[in-house]
Structure 1
Amino acid sequence: MLRPCLPPVVLLLAAIAAAPAPAQTAPRDGAVTAPLPVAPAPVRAQPLASGAVTHQVRLPGEPGQATVIVRSIQPDSVAGNYRIDFDALDVDGDGFISREEAQANPALADEFTALDSARRGKLAREQLAGWLLD
């Protein structure tokens, strides 16, 4: 039986596709790795060249690997409904918005974990300084 003559590049790509994926190893610092979630549509992207860099960390790689730089960028503009009435959301009147109370505002509920940097499960008025408060 005659086999078609395939270019070496095609054979190499076929071999790579058929090879098992390399096993992932746990990070040495105990961090948990997971694939990035698929972004919900619609997502408004901002070019990385715009906005002010607020923080930067250089992560050293293993020998022979590239160094990774992670930057936080303050966006030029914000899309979405970020206007909240703190007192109306603070149903129990304790001076904080709990995760349960935040569910009344979908934008705040989506951003709750990012805003709760102390991981207390509640947000103080000061933590919402970037939001327009009624």
Structure 2
Amino acid sequence: MTIKISEKDKVFQIATVAGWVKRTGMQVTIDEIDVVIYPLKTQNDTFIQVNEVESGGVVISIPISVIDTFVVDNRDKAIEYYKDNVIPLIQKKIEVNGLDKFRKEVEKAKSYMLEKYGEKPEIKDFEGESK
């Protein structure tokens, strides 16, 4: 499997029950499948969330410990953590389901989100985002 990690973090639109939501993360391409990986803090827990870029749909959500949140607190450390702990899980999911089935599921999710919430807003480089 070929893996490519984006040079800059980007602002993505993620599919949620409330519609499209902005999240800042790292784009990773695994065998032509684009995903975004980012930490997601909820009221009680922290996760490493992986969403497919085109559909915005969740691929995998991995709970992490409080200690691991410090490991991903900057881009360089996050890249190493993702390479060792997250990307292998994504690869396994793609292998188990097969690339064709994975792509079909992406298309279904994309159609559903388009119908339910409208066109997905564009992806932007994180540095270009106003605060």
Higher Rg? 1
Which structure would you say has the larger RCO, counting Cα contacts within 8 Å and 6 or more residues apart?
A: 2
- Normalised to the residue count of structure 2, the TM-score between the two structures is 0.22
- Whichever structure has more strand as a proportion of its residues is 2
- Whichever structure has more helix as a proportion of its residues is 2
- Normalised to the residue count of structure 1, the TM-score between the two structures is 0.22
